[in-house]
Amino acid sequence: MARILVERPELSDRLKLTHVFNRDVSRKRADWVPASVVWTEDIDVVLAASPDVVVEVVGGVTPAREWVGGAIDRGASVVTANKMLLATHGPELLQAASRAGVRLRFEAAVGGGVPLIHGVREGLAGDVLTGVAGILNGTCNYILSRMSATSEPMDVVLRDAQRLGYAEADPTADVDGFDAAAKLVVLAGIAFHRHLRLADVPRRSIRPLTSADFTYANRLGCTIRQVSRVQQAEGGFFGFVGPALVPHGSSFGRNEGANNVVTIYGRYGGESSFSGAGAGGPATAVAVVSDLLALTRDGQGARRDADEWLPASFVAPPPLAYYLRFVVRDRPGILASIAAVLARQGINLDAVLQEPGYPKDRLPFVITVEPCEEAALLESLSELTPADWHAEPPLALPMLLGPLS
3-class DSSP state for residue 241?
strand
Residue 4 to residue 29: CA distance in whole angstroms? 16
The answer, yes or no, to whether residue 360 has pLDDT greater than 50, is yes
Among residues 362, 365, 367, 363, the alpha carbon closest in space to that of 339 is found at 367
pLDDT tens column, 50-107: 999 999 999 999 999 999 999 999 999 999 999 999 999 999 999 999 999 999 999 9
The answer, yes or no, to whether residue 320 has pLDDT greater than 50, is yes
Q: In what order do the strands lie in the sheet with 77-80?
A: 53-56, 77-80, 104-105
The answer, yes or no, to whether residue 357 has pLDDT greater than 90, is yes
117-131, 153-167, 234-248, 295-309: lowest mean pLDDT where? 295-309
Q: Which long-range contacts (C-beta less than 8 Å, at least 24 apart) are formed by 68-74?
A: 68/93, 68/104, 69/93, 69/96, 70/43, 71/47, 72/96, 72/97, 72/100, 72/102, 72/104, 73/100, 74/47, 74/50
* Phi–psi pair at 144, nearest 5 degrees: -75, -40
E strands, 289-383, are: 310-312, 320-328, 349-353, 363-372
Task: Count CA within 13 A, CB hemisphere, residue 396.
Answer: 20
Among residues 158, 208, 143, the alpha carbon closest in space to that of 391 is found at 208
Can you give 267-307 as a three-state secondary structure string?
CCCEEEEEEEECCCHHHHHHHHHHHHHHHHHHCCCCCCCCC
In this prediction, residues 399-403 reach a mean pLDDT of 83
The answer, yes or no, to whether residue 305 has pLDDT greater than 60, is no
| Percent of the chain scoring above 70 in pLDDT | 96
Contact predicate 229/239, CB 8 Å:
yes
Residue 133 to residue 264: CA distance in whole angstroms? 7
Contact predicate 132/191, CB 8 Å:
yes
The answer, yes or no, to whether residue 306 has pLDDT greater than 70, is no
DSSP H helical segments within 131-243, as ranges?
138-150, 154-163, 172-175, 178-192, 211-219
Q: Calculate the alpha carbon distances from 370 to 123, 320, 330, 349 in Å.
A: 37, 7, 25, 6
DSSP H helical segments within 8-82, as ranges?
25-28, 43-48, 64-73
Q: Which of 16, 28, 83, 183 is catalytic?
A: 183
The answer, yes or no, to whether residue 328 has pLDDT greater than 90, is yes
Question: Which residues are CB-neighbours of 132 under 8 A, at least 6 positions away?
Answer: 184, 187, 188, 191, 228, 229, 230, 231, 262, 263, 264, 265
The confidence score (pLDDT) of residue 301 equals 47
Average pLDDT value for the chain: 93
Question: Which residues are CB-neighbours of 266 under 8 A, at least 6 positions away?
Answer: 124, 127, 128, 129, 130, 272
Pairing of strands 53-56, 77-80: parallel
The answer, yes or no, to whether residue 226 has pLDDT greater than 50, is yes
Residue 281 pLDDT class (50, 70, 90 cuts): confident
The answer, yes or no, to whether residue 167 has pLDDT greater than 50, is yes
Helices vs. strands in the chain: H and E counts, helices first: 15, 16
Q: Which domains does the chain have, with CATH numbers?
A: 2-112+282-310 (3.40.50.720), 116-278 (3.30.360.10), 320-399 (3.30.70.260)
Residue 400 to residue 405: CA distance in whole angstroms? 5
Of 241 and 294, the one with more pLDDT: 241
Active site residue 28: no
Contact predicate 288/56, CB 8 Å:
no
pLDDT tens column, 13-34: 999 999 999 988 888 899 999 9
Burial 123-150 (b: 16+ CB within 10 A, else e): ebeebebbbbbbbbbbbbbbbbbbbbee
Of 111 and 354, the one with more pLDDT: 354
Q: In what order do the strands lie in the sheet with 320-328?
A: 270-277, 259-266, 129-135, 222-233, 236-247, 390-399, 320-328, 363-372, 349-353
* Phi–psi pair at 203, nearest 5 degrees: -125, 140
Of 88 and 111, the one with more pLDDT: 88
